[in-house]
Amino acid sequence: MNIAITVFSAGMASTAAFTALAADTASEAKALPEVILLGDSIRMSYQAGVRKRLESIARVWAPKDNCSDTVHTLKNLDRWLEGRNPAVIHINCGLHDMWLFDAEKRRHTVEVYAANLRKILGRLREKTDATIIFALTTPVNENYQASSGYGRVVRYEKDIPRYNMAAKAVAAEMNIPVDDLYTPLFREGIDSILGKDGVHLSAKGVEIAADTVANCIREHLGGE
């Protein structure tokens, strides 16, 4: 009987210690600054890598849904931000705005895109005290889109620099830092950083994007 009581007591002590450790760990994690990632499926592909890279200095949160184009993003900002107090918001919109309905008709012209982006960034400023970072849109491969991706060209590579230039102008006007996701991926070669559909990132592309985003956020968090 004494042995049983001793074993039972030891088990209770072990459980209590584990619970206390878990509580301490949760408390420490909660004390870390929060980072919010907003963006389309490109963001959804690199967010796990960013979370892993920043796990010691930040809590990384992102919506479960695809943030899509600038109109969808603007409509849903309040919902995504509700109850949150982020230190940094890293956001991108672009690929869904330049979606081609036909050879000439895009979802949003570059002028509409810029105007919507200005509203989004202004809304983020109103709703939070976070450092806002805008990430440039990533490259595409038209040949892949037509051959093994969408069966046709749905985004022009020539549009990416145009929309990115408009985004940079808005960001500069509003004194918002820019995370250049485009250049390191393009420099690596679009054949290797894109998947077969010519829009979404390959495994290599995801790693480069996660490194770039994590490094940019780390700089603005002041972490090492």
Give pLDDT < 70 ranges for the chain: 1-30, 223-224
CATH architecture of 33-221: 3-Layer(aba) Sandwich (3.40)
Positive or negative: CA dihedral 101, 106, 112, 113 = positive
Please tell me the predicted confidence (pLDDT) of residue 20: 41
Task: Give the start-to-end residue ranges of the domains of the chain.
Answer: 1-31, 33-221
- Interval 169-191: pLDDT, tens: 999 999 999 999 999 999 999 99
Query: Of 210, 206, 97, 195, which is closest to residue 154 (Cα–Cα)?
Result: 97
Q: How far is the CA of 55 from the CAs of 60, 116, 218, in angstroms?
A: 8, 32, 11
- Interval 77-102: pLDDT, tens: 999 999 999 999 999 999 999 999 99
Inter-residue contact 132 to 122 (CB < 8 Å) = no
Q: What pTM did the predictor assign?
A: 0.86
> Edge to edge, what strands does the sheet with 131-135 contain?
59-61, 34-38, 88-91, 131-135, 178-179
Could you give phi then psi for residue 73, rounded to 5 degrees?
-60, -45
